[in-house]
Structure 1
Amino acid sequence: MTSPGAHEHDATVRPAGPGAARAELGSEDAPDFLGALRRLGYQSFRPGQAEAIEVLMQRRRLLLVAPTGGGKSLTFQLPASALPGTTIVLSPLIALMADQVRALEARGVTATFLASTLPGPEISARLGNMARGHYKLVYVAPERLGAPAFREICRRIAVPLVAVDEAHCISEWGHDFRPEYLQIGELLADLPRARVLACTATATPVVRDEILSRLGLPADTPQIVRGFARPNLALHVAEEEDRRARERLVDRTLEQALGRGPGARPAGHAAEDMSSGTAIIYAPTRKVTEQETVRLVARGWRAEAYHAGLEGPQREKVQARFSRGELDVVVATNAFGMGIDRGDVRAVIHLAPPGSIEAYYQEVGRAGRDGRDALGLLLIAPGDLPLRRRLIERGGGDDSSPAPAVVEHKWNTFLELMRWAEGGSCRHDAILRYFGDEGEALGGCGRCDVCRQLSAEADDDPEATTLIVRKALSAVARIHRRFGLQAAVSLLRGAADERLERTGLVNTPTFGALREHDGAWLLRLLRRCVVAGWVDFTGDDRPVVVLTDIGRRVMRGELPARLLLPPRVRPATKDMLPETGFAGHAPKASARAREPEAVLDAAALALFERLRAHRMQVASREGVPPYVVASDRSLRDLALLRPRSRDQLLLAHGIGPAKADKYGAGLLEVIAAAG
């Protein structure tokens, strides 16, 4: 049997623009990709698709990170339809697999899918056709990888390409980890001549490194990260604890985004009319999902709940009604949305923060896929930080506690989301930097709440900022491991508090040190100290605060207090969502506005990538996940600090004495080699 790819040219990837890529794909010594493109019903490539296919053909390995709706499927469907043999596509989304198979067959491409939802005889019939080479593409749910018959057929037939969709599921630190994905590496080992394409809509650098490690791909596997800029999304974060105020925000957001009030129906339901769209509300629990649905229905909205506690037929009914445009709102847990295909979602509202920026951006990214204006609202409350910490330390709810490294990683990914929520610069640009897609940075979208609300007063005097921060950290030091953030607020305000009286803290110089600020402002300041890594929580049922080592050094003036203070006057709730959110663009935010952590310049970004490559090599050699060596935030700090000694190395986030002893020499060597 001729192995797939045996006669194909294995060239080095050359830098090329989209035009050059299209020319390459249409050259005489390559498969007829342009002809296959037309057979699939497309006249041209979307931006980045031709480049990705060319890299996959030439380098035979590719990790593609692009948002949902960005055209990743064509990147494997096109080569699969043109190359000899049967391409294997691994995906956890059974409904999406069925839809794509139907679409391919309608275009004359033989395809099928294998999943546990099919009856046994049907699976056997499809496996038989697969063994005879009948299909160009076979979509497979990951649990099928444990079936010996399927694995044996894969070894016997020509497989030119294996595509791993939703590849972040293989990472223990991806927001949707699936244990069955861990078998994919074994399948690839059985098919050493097959090309490998790993696709995901959301993966940070540390998750991308683990994807490569779990799949057994080399560290130099090409990675393309593109398409995360969504300037049509107006992103807003509103901090509100009062229930009625939160409900008013939700109601106003729905009316603004859908262009109508509850009970009203868009005339004609015209698809091109923005008011004919729908909205998704993500709730943190099933109980909240049901409660919010009842409230919205009572107000006149066509709303239904969707969560994993509902029977399968009911969930299918809700999703079908949503797809047909029969609902104004779906209120759901994060169980809803995988594989949905509606472009006119005009708003996505989160009633509480999810666990990470990846999860948030994937969910809010379901709005505005048609390219038209859409709105994302994230509601946060003061109790989110200690509550999330408690949930993380409880783990999955069984008797065993999660490993400290697991707790640290999940806590840090949540803090990244809260750091983003605190604002400081354009929300779009901050997300692009987080995903490593800095080339698409907008320089301020002009539409998010931060761009619209930041003013010159946010650019506080550095000395004044330092003094305020050091006073705030002094309060934390006074209540270290005894009380929560509210006690620190009372101490700084000089407010009556039995705990402060009992412990004598009313007699300290810190009592009333920031009495000129109100409690809400001080609480926001202290939370920014938490996300900066200066203050932390214990995991008790009643979480108390601790002053971290780096926080103590900031308090003492040994390290700078680089922090964007909360606005002096908090915007009123009614102003959180601008009336003109869909009508135009506000002026860009002041160039003086900065995020709490510095942005990597070109040299620092290059060093960050070198450190990532080193981390990947060390992790592969030791057989550990990349985060064990160092987190992304640690590598970013190292790229900025460029330490030359062990003591300087310890200044980076997440690098303690044990990690410095084990991995420090290698990290310092990489930094020194960079000059």
Structure 2
Amino acid sequence: MTLSEAQPTTSSLQQTLAKVFGYTEFRAGQEAVIEHLLEGRDTLVLMPTGGGKSLCYQLPAVHQPGLTVVISPLLSLMQDQVEALQAMGVAAEALHSGLTSEQSLNVLRRLQNSEVSLLYVSPERALQHAFIERLQSYQPRFIAIDEAHCISQWGHDFRPEYGQLGQLRQVLPNVPFMALTATADAATQQDIIERLGLRQPYCHRSSFDRPNIRYVVQDKYKPFKQVKDYVRKQKGAAGIIYCGSRKKTEDIAESLQDAGVRAAPYHAGLASELKETTLRQFLRDDLDVVVATVAFGMGINKPNIRYVIHFDIPRSIESYYQETGRAGRDGLPAEALLLYDPSDAQWIRRILDEHDNEHRGIVERQKFSAMQAMAEAQTCRRLVLLNYFNEFSEKECGNCDLCLDPPTRFDALEDAQKALSCVYRVGQQFGISHVVEVLRGSKNQKVLEHHHHELTTYGLGRDQTHEYWYSILRQLIHRGFLVQDIRRHAALQLTEEARPILRGENTLELAKPRLNLTSSQSKITDRGDYNKVLFRRLRKLRKDIADKESVPPFVVFNDNSLVEMCQKYPTSAPEMLMISGVGQVKLERYGEAFIDEIEAFLTLSSEKDVLDG
């Protein structure tokens, strides 16, 4: 029987959607993708992180008999999805190197007995000769390839083993293939189609917009303090901090730990057991912050991450988009904060210029140029981001730093002359920090050792803060009046364009430094339309249940489901089934406990009202 012969009605798909997954409606694009897949067509799915990609292969796999194979790059992602599916009563398994021999044999036995609906494997496993022979005997209903941008040489995270997955099409010519990714430009999309041998695929491309994420860029002037102050204000919310080096992850994690934050580092140099422990603690809400390199990568399946901080600028907009997209997957408010220093950008450019592969180096330099332009933009961040993915718009988002606090222009000629003169007076041999110290009239050891307290520019800017002068100098760099020599510790040097400014021959307007970004100075705002006291009680109940079952809390219910419970106060099984994310199996497993907690809260609230009255 072919997929098309067994195509169900839309209403029966919606019944499975409600019964198993607990949703009453499909998200944009999901239904069309599933229908085309069930017709036996290859499909290419582009949906943002948190946009519902997984459901596009999970629902058809659950709805009809047979085996669906999902190729995924990360063991942790496989395990998280398997746990979540099993909690919904789905026959899902994973084959990976983290299993014992006994566990692997048990999975293989269940496969042989046709007891598995969804099987997750790594690309390396999928390409093993013995496994390919098994696939040929099982004849899966379809194969889904997650994080498909890894297939493409034009993608930001090309992986050679992914590029070989086209071999599967040759040995399974009649099996439909589905490729899914959150980040792929036009060249990457075409490369995915060609390398996988997709035949006239149905291509669905959702909006890349994640309106619940606020994008913020701040000047990086005291980064350790900036990060510590920010995290403290989030008061226990889950977050990820991305850094460009292993040492920074450890230093920042230690600094946060000293400040009483539940934080841990994560990078490729740590022992596998330690990385696994950190990931598990983070997923189970026993750890609030992970400070990581990009090794903490694709598929972090934790829906309640409230913020992502980039301590260093990423190398591409694709990387930035994917990493920031790990925040707010539950649809609740989240924030993406980038700390930006032009000298970091110059350092990355030097590395990219030394790339061994000339072709790959050209691609990566082009991608980084786009990322740097986004960091230095003076227009809506979201528009820059969406335009990069060919989703053109002219309407500003109203939820990024530049929309919330638009830069005010001012006559900056005098300040620019002070700053440029100071760069000249210190011999064009020092970086931003030292120039600011001289302008501010600092008496630190370095200033005194070089006799810079004797310069005519010493103390000219003491009426403004350090942060103010950092912003002025960075804008002068952006405008081309100064350059940073990365060969000499990012020393500032004047360009020819600076001469007319120093002489007062030209006017100059700059953006007034924004020293207090209201968007990032307090806890990330969340919806105010639900009972916060009940939410805390339900969150504790969820954590207790999750700990007993040794699963992450979101496997029980995600935050969005809890928020809805705190709006609608369901006190019966039919009412609980109306809550998003509550299917039949979850109702049977957890419904009674949550209904009891809600009833106890309502009783207590009623008694309190009587007493207060």
Q: TM-score range by the shorter chain?
A: 0.5 to 0.7
Structure 1: tracts of 5 or more residues without a match: 10-23, 259-275, 396-401, 461-467, 469-488, 500-516, 546-551, 553-564, 585-675
Q: How big is each residue's C-alpha offset from its partner over 1:123-175, in whole Å with a ceiling of 9 and x where there is no partner?
A: 45544543554432222111113322211222233322110011111123333
Letter in 1 for 2:143: V
Letter in 1 for 2:182: A
CA drift of 1:339 comes to 3.3
Distance 1:104 1:582, change over 3 A: closer
SS in 1 for 2:335: strand
SS in 2 for 1:40: helix
Indicate whether 1:572 and 2:515 are aligned.
Answer: yes
Counterpart in 2 of 1:211?
192
Counterpart in 1 of 2:171?
190
Counterpart in 2 of 1:638?
none
Task: State the distance in 2 between where 1:135 and 1:520 align.
Answer: 58
Kindly indicate whether the alpha-carbon contact (under 8 Å) linking 1:490 and 1:497 is maintained by their aligned counterparts in 2.
no
CA drift of 1:331 comes to 1.4
Distance 1:157 1:346, change over 3 A: closer
Residues 519-530 of structure 1 correspond to what in structure 2 (within 5 A)?
521=472, 524=475, 526-527=477-478
Counterpart in 2 of 1:436?
390
Letter in 1 for 2:116: Y
Counterpart in 2 of 1:452?
404
Counterpart in 1 of 2:312?
352
Aligned residues: 476
Letter in 1 for 2:379: S
Q: How big is each residue's C-alpha offset from its partner over 1:550-609, in whole Å with a ceiling of 9 and x where there is no partner?
A: xx9xxxxxxxxxxxx98433223666845697389xxxxxxxxxxxxxxxxxxxxxxxxx
Counterpart in 2 of 1:296?
256
CA drift of 1:292 comes to 1.0
Distance 1:135 1:537, change over 3 A: farther
Task: State the distance in 2 between where 1:520 and 1:100 align.
Answer: 44
Match of 1:284 among 244, 254, 271: 244
Task: State the distance in 2 between where 1:433 and 1:302 align.
Answer: 37
Match of 1:91 among 59, 72, 75: 72
Match of 2:365 among 398, 408, 411: 411
Letter in 1 for 2:403: C
Letter in 2 for 1:247: F
Distance 1:89 1:519, change over 3 A: closer
SS in 2 for 1:432: helix
Kindly indicate whether the alpha-carbon contact (under 8 Å) linking 1:305 and 1:332 is maintained by their aligned counterparts in 2.
yes
Which of structures 1 and 2 has the larger relative contact order (alpha carbons within 8 angstroms, sep 6+)?
Answer: 2
Structure 2: tracts of 5 or more residues without a match: 414-418, 430-467, 498-507, 528-613
SS in 2 for 1:454: coil
Task: State the distance in 1 between where 2:219 and 2:490 align.
Answer: 21
SS in 1 for 2:307: strand
SS in 1 for 2:177: strand
Kindly indicate whether the alpha-carbon contact (under 8 Å) linking 1:419 and 1:528 is maintained by their aligned counterparts in 2.
no
Indicate whether 1:422 and 2:376 are aligned.
Answer: yes
Counterpart in 1 of 2:459?
none
Kindly indicate whether the alpha-carbon contact (under 8 Å) linking 1:352 and 1:379 is maintained by their aligned counterparts in 2.
yes
TM-score by length of 1: 0.62
Match of 2:30 among 24, 33, 49: 49
Task: State the distance in 2 between where 1:65 and 1:392 align.
Answer: 28
Indicate whether 1:257 and 2:200 are aligned.
Answer: no
Counterpart in 2 of 1:640?
none
Letter in 2 for 1:364: T
Counterpart in 2 of 1:382?
342
Residues 115-154 of structure 1 correspond to what in structure 2 (within 5 A)?
115-120=96-101, 122-124=103-105, 126-127=107-108, 129-131=110-112, 133-154=114-135
Task: State the distance in 2 between where 1:412 and 1:285 align.
Answer: 22
CA drift of 1:185 comes to 0.3
Task: State the distance in 1 between where 2:104 and 2:342 align.
Answer: 51
SS in 2 for 1:176: coil
Task: State the distance in 1 between where 2:34 and 2:224 align.
Answer: 47
Task: State the distance in 1 between where 2:490 and 2:357 align.
Answer: 19
CA drift of 1:389 comes to 1.6
Task: State the distance in 2 between where 1:414 and 1:583 align.
Answer: 33
Distance 1:316 1:494, change over 3 A: closer
Counterpart in 1 of 2:20?
40
Counterpart in 1 of 2:268?
308
Over aligned residues, Cα RMSD in angstroms? 4.0
Letter in 2 for 1:118: L
Counterpart in 2 of 1:474?
none
CA drift of 1:457 comes to 3.8
Match of 2:218 among 238, 242, 250: 238
Task: State the distance in 2 between where 1:298 and 1:404 align.
Answer: 44
Task: State the distance in 1 between where 2:509 and 2:149 align.
Answer: 34
Task: State the distance in 2 between where 1:495 and 1:541 align.
Answer: 17
